[in-house]
Amino acid sequence: MNAPLTNVQARDVEALLHPYTPIHRLREIGPLVIERGKGVYVYDTQGKAYIEGMAGLWCTGLGYGDEELIETATEQLRTLSYSHLFGAKGMEPAIELAEKLKEIAPIPISKVFYTSSGSEANDTQVKLAWYMNNALGRPNKKKIISRQKAYHGVTIMAASLTGLPYNHMGWDLPVDRVIHTDCPHYWRFGEDGESEAEFLARIVGSLRDLIEREGPDTIAAMIAEPVMGAGGVIVPPAGYYPAIKEVLDEHDIILIDDEVINGFGRTGNWWGAQTHGMVPTTISAAKQLTSAYVPLGAVLVPEDIYQAYVDHSRQIGTFGHGFTYGGHPLGCAVGAKTIEIYQKRDIIGKVRALAPVFEKRLKAVADHPLVGEVRYSGLVGGVELVADKKTKRSFDAKKGVGPGLVRFAEGHGAILRAIGDTIAFCPPMIITEAELNELFDRFEKALADTEAWVSKEGLRAA
């Protein structure tokens, strides 16, 4: 029996439409209303503390209440609360952040275009790919390849790039010009008796076949997250990105690197591309760009592609794309300070030092009867729950086993995220070893609760 809703929970239910929530059950389960946060902890309206094991939505890399970021934001609001980049306007925060992004980028970057979110950044990537090909006299080279189980956002185009059923069902998506290729998840999609190397060769061959079937002169780009985040923290086989890049280069198809979750130290390098051997053409960034203190996204483009935009602007008369809040001075000032903090506090070194502990604690639950596979890269990981460990059979989604575990975890003071029946971990990068171990201790208690619940209710039944 669920407890009656508190006053603030009842107000929430009456006023809000919650994203990624079974809203048909919201009144029954009640929202968890967060009141404040400090460090790696958040506190609900009853004063209960939770370790924020997901850094919000993969984004609060520096945790909550960082005084340097608060001071920077306050000073910027006093100095210039708003300006924009339309019509050849400029401002110091936007310039400074772009310079910092160019400095740390994994490939040579010429220009930075700002958005308000990762979804807008990936949406912009598609528009820019179309714009570039129009400028180059290739009006038919417009299709975008994405992957099954990819996540690239929720605008109409970004949701079309996303390769998850719930982002398409009921939304009349995906739109035309988006095609999906194989998900590079060997454990789940490898065939019986197939080695990882054979799996890699098969899915790369499948990509080549897709391009040749569609026609390379119709395909503008492929978009990929180095580690697939909201699709279940899927880490591709070694050699995957060099292999697909060879295919893409053969057919003059650019590679868009979606670093919205991976970027700014999360995988133990500035960029997930560096960790996983990806050499992209362009880059999308957001989330940890400001440690989520202010909404901001960015698209990073090289000089040759920028020159195509210049040529088309010359033909048309202007570059007709932009957002009211793209390059907002508050976001840019906080973003520049965030990168400075990552550098001076050696956050990447901290991630590298904690990664073995993170890996050890994930591997410790791999033999649990509910666990099919554990996956990780730096300080992002996933635990996939299964109904049958031997056959890898998943639970019926309607039984809500993953979400059930997350609710048990909340009871033990840990916030995690269920992606179907994969439990995702993405703690703030400032987490201490003791706090990280405490997070996993609380998760293991929730896992035990889930095992007891699954057994009692007979949820393993097919």
Q: What is the mean pLDDT of residues 420-427?
A: 97
The average confidence (pLDDT) of the chain is: 97
Considering the domain architecture, whether residues 75 and 209 belong to the same structural domain is answered as yes
User: Would 18 be classed as within a structural domain?
Assistant: no
Q: Could you list the residue range(s) of the whole structural domain that residue 422 is in?
A: 32-65+346-457
User: Would 224 be classed as within a structural domain?
Assistant: yes
What does the chain come to in residues?
462
| pLDDT score recorded for residue 3 | 81
End position of a domain, from candidates 344, 376, 396 = 344
* Residue in this structure with the two tokens 């729950």, named with its chain if needed: 385
* Residue in this structure with the two tokens 């508050």, named with its chain if needed: 330
CA 284/CA 299 separation, integer angstroms: 5
Considering the domain architecture, whether residues 426 and 292 belong to the same structural domain is answered as no
Considering the domain architecture, whether residues 445 and 326 belong to the same structural domain is answered as no
Considering the domain architecture, whether residues 204 and 133 belong to the same structural domain is answered as yes
User: Would 58 be classed as within a structural domain?
Assistant: yes
Considering the domain architecture, whether residues 185 and 237 belong to the same structural domain is answered as yes
Considering the domain architecture, whether residues 128 and 45 belong to the same structural domain is answered as no
Q: Which two tokens stand for residue 418?
A: 């269920």
Considering the domain architecture, whether residues 125 and 224 belong to the same structural domain is answered as yes
User: Would 14 be classed as within a structural domain?
Assistant: no
Which residues lie below 8 Å from residue 376, measured CB to CB, with a gap of 6+? Answer: 233, 235, 355, 358, 359, 362, 382
Quick check: 301 and 109 in contact, CB under 8 A? Answer: yes
Taking only the tens place, the pLDDT of each residue in 71-103 is 999 999 999 999 999 999 999 999 999 999 999
User: Would 462 be classed as within a structural domain?
Assistant: no
Q: What is the mean pLDDT of residues 12-20?
A: 94
Beta bridge partners of 23: none
Considering the domain architecture, whether residues 352 and 429 belong to the same structural domain is answered as yes
CA 339/CA 34 separation, integer angstroms: 27
Q: At 44, is the secondary structure helix, strand, or coil?
A: strand
DSSP per-residue string spanning 326-360: TT-HHHHHHHHHHHHHHHHTTHHHHHHHHHHHHHH
Q: At 37, is the secondary structure helix, strand, or coil?
A: strand
Taking only the tens place, the pLDDT of each residue in 100-125 is 999 999 999 999 999 999 999 999 99
Considering the domain architecture, whether residues 282 and 340 belong to the same structural domain is answered as yes
Considering the domain architecture, whether residues 209 and 274 belong to the same structural domain is answered as yes
Considering the domain architecture, whether residues 102 and 245 belong to the same structural domain is answered as yes
Q: What is the mean pLDDT of residues 313-328?
A: 96
Taking only the tens place, the pLDDT of each residue in 280-298 is 999 999 999 999 999 999 9
| pLDDT score recorded for residue 137 | 96
CATH number for the domain that contains residue 431: 3.90.1150.10
Q: What is the mean pLDDT of residues 362-371?
A: 98
Q: What is the mean pLDDT of residues 168-174?
A: 95
Domain count, the chain: 2
Q: Is the pLDDT of residue 158 over 70?
A: yes
Q: Which of 422, 410, 419, 448 has its CA nearest to residue 53?
A: 410
Q: Is the pLDDT of residue 1 over 70?
A: no
Taking only the tens place, the pLDDT of each residue in 269-279 is 999 999 999 99
User: Would 412 be classed as within a structural domain?
Assistant: yes
User: Would 22 be classed as within a structural domain?
Assistant: no
Chain centroid, CA 299 distance in Å: 15
| pLDDT score recorded for residue 462 | 82
* Residue in this structure with the two tokens 């194989």, named with its chain if needed: 182
Q: How confident is the model at residue 220 (pLDDT cuts 50, 70, 90)?
A: very high
Considering the domain architecture, whether residues 330 and 363 belong to the same structural domain is answered as no
End position of a domain, from candidates 344, 375, 401 = 344
Q: What is the mean pLDDT of residues 428-451?
A: 98
Q: How confident is the model at residue 164 (pLDDT cuts 50, 70, 90)?
A: very high
User: Would 13 be classed as within a structural domain?
Assistant: no
Q: How confident is the model at residue 432 (pLDDT cuts 50, 70, 90)?
A: very high
